[in-house]
Structure 1
Amino acid sequence: MSRDRLAAARARRAQTMEMSNLATTGPANAGGSSSPFLSEATNIQEGIRHYNENVSRISILRSQMLNEPNAEESEQLDSLAEENRTLSQDLRERIQRLAQQPQEQDAELRRTRIALLQSKFMEAIQNYQLIEKENRAKSRQRVERQLKIVKPDATPEEVAAAFEGGGEQIFAQALTTSTRYGESRAAYREVQGRQEDLRKMEQTLAELAQLFNDMGTLIEQQEAVITAVEDTARDVEANTEKALQHTGQAVVHARSYRKGRWICFFIFLFVVCVLALVLGIVFGTRK
């Protein structure tokens, strides 16, 4: 059920993406009350752009290290991954705060801009996940090839153990019997390095999955609030229409009542006049 609501929310946001340019060129930019909101939204968008740039650099470094790993590139990767880890948490919190701000003025425009930021950030997270998954698969393939250098008949279980960092015994046994000791030793060292890279990628993927789920929950909560506000607005509008109908009926009844009172008054006045005329004739005749 929650996934269906999230998909529906994304579909609604997709229909309003073209309106996002209004946030920087529309009338809201002219008003001072919207300036802090637009300024923060622009800063968040810049943060997402920087996040994507880091992901692109991570992808390039991963490709380079796949063929020729070195300590300098490994340090750069760790630095970029840590920067994106901190940046992603900051962006998530800032988007959440922006979504929780009162939206009394330009509410629809603000919701559209927030939806755009949420969508772009989730796209950035998914792109990072895709890149890490692809590099994880390539690294695992590399580990498997290196393992089979020293043990061509390695079983799937032994390959899996090498992925998880438990292949020391396999390599130790293979090195004692292999005739290609130098090549086997180099393969063993590379596998050890790949195991650490795989561990880091697994950690990053777990963090990205949690971040994506957090953003999905935030969007669901926001959609629930917006739906509640819209339902309340519809109820108020319906009640107002009913009140106007009752007011109109009351006016009609009041007019009918006043008209009836005037009719009664004229009838009473007519009866008094007729009675006065009759009495006048009666008394006049007696004299």
Structure 2
Amino acid sequence: MARDRLKDIGAGSHQTVVEMEGLMDTSAPSLDSFYDEVNRMKDDIESARRSVLSIEEMQRLGAVGLDKPADREQLERLSNMTQDQLRGLRDRIKQMILQTQRLAKTQPRDAQLRRNQQAYLLESIQEVTRNFHIANQTAQDKYKEQLGRQYRIVRPDATDAEVAEAVERGDGAFSREILASRLGQQQQNLEEVKSRQAQLKQIFTAITELAKLLEDMQEMIDAQQ
């Protein structure tokens, strides 16, 4: 499923963040061209929506330990590509709004038609971004719980505060505890912990960026009202 989503994004994203950088053309296209772009953006929003659903499923499997290292790499790639896609959508709707603002001075009726479409696009992008943000927050909580359980295997006498501190630190102390234990499969346990800690860092970065995207989207929505 995730492999297909990666292909979908690569083929279906009509305009990337890289293409948008430095290209804020505020001259309004014709109404036909405008609606063509609206339809392309709707397709890309739907693509992002499907990606978020795939990510949620992969994170769910990871939270119960049913994923593999290759799955985690694929999840990271899909997450990064989906973030790029949402950034691109934000930049495209921003450009569209600027074009409409300029058009409103000479063609107010045309501009209002465009604003109606922009409002729908803004809300749709915001919804997908919010769902992605929530999915990452949920995964973060689940992965922390999983690391906490692993720590208790190594330190069954640890207090709740000690477990929470070990999970939040994300440093070498947790790894040293595993190596110092007399449990079997130490190396496997160590690799599992390192992998989960890396995932938590990636998720934290995603949550921070998605929060900024949500803030940007809300500002644009407020400005349209």
Asked if TM exceeds 0.5, the reply is yes
Structure (1/2) with the larger helix percentage? 1
Q: How does 1:1-287 map to 2 (within 5 A)?
A: 33-66=30-63, 67-101=65-99, 102-103=103-104, 104=107, 105-166=109-170, 168-173=172-177, 175-176=179-180, 178-179=181-182, 181-183=183-185, 185-223=187-225
TM-score by structure 2 length? 0.76
Q: Shift of the alpha carbon at 1:183?
A: 4.9
Secondary structure at 2:184 match in 1: helix
Q: Aligned Cα RMSD in Å?
A: 2.2
Alpha-carbon offset, residue 37 of structure 1? 1.2
- Indicate conservation of the 8 Å contact 1:58/1:77, yes or no: yes
Corresponding letter in the other structure for 2:67? P
For the 8 Å contact 2:178–2:189, the answer to whether it is kept is no
Larger of the two Rg values belongs to structure: 1
Change (3 A) 1:37 1:139: same
Structure 1 stretch displaced more, 212-221 or 164-173: 164-173
With over 3 angstroms needed to count, the CA separation of the structure-2 counterparts of 1:173 and 1:70, relative to structure 1, is closer
Indicate the percent of aligned positions where both proteins have the same amino acid.
29
Is there any run of 5+ residues in structure 2 with no aligned partner, and where?
A: 1-28
Count of aligned residue pairs for this structure pair: 190
What is the alpha-carbon distance in structure 2 between the residues aligned to residue 77 and residue 55 of structure 1? 11
| Structure 1 residues 219 and 195: CA distance shift in structure 2, 3 A | same
Pair 1:76–1:210, CA change in 2 (3 A): same
Residue deviations 1:144-198 (CA, integer Å, cap 9, x gap): 000000101223343233323445335534653x44x215554333222111000
1:213 positional shift: 0.5
Aligned to 1:22: none
Query: Alpha-carbon deviations, 1:200-251, whole Å to 9, x = none?
Result: 000000000000111112223333xxxxxxxxxxxxxxxxxxxxxxxxxxxx
Taking structure 1 as reference, are residues 139 and 173 closer, same or farther at Cα in structure 2, changes over 3 Å only? closer
CA distance in 2, matches of 1:83, 1:185: 32
- Matched-pair contact (CA < 8 Å) for 2:166–2:173: no
Normalising by structure 1, report the TM-score: 0.60
d(CA) in 2 for partners of 1:85, 1:112: 26
Q: Secondary structure at the match of 1:153?
A: coil
Shift of 1:64: 2.5
Corresponding letter in the other structure for 1:168: G
Ranked by relative contact order (alpha carbons within 8 Å, sequence separation 6 or more), the top structure is: 2
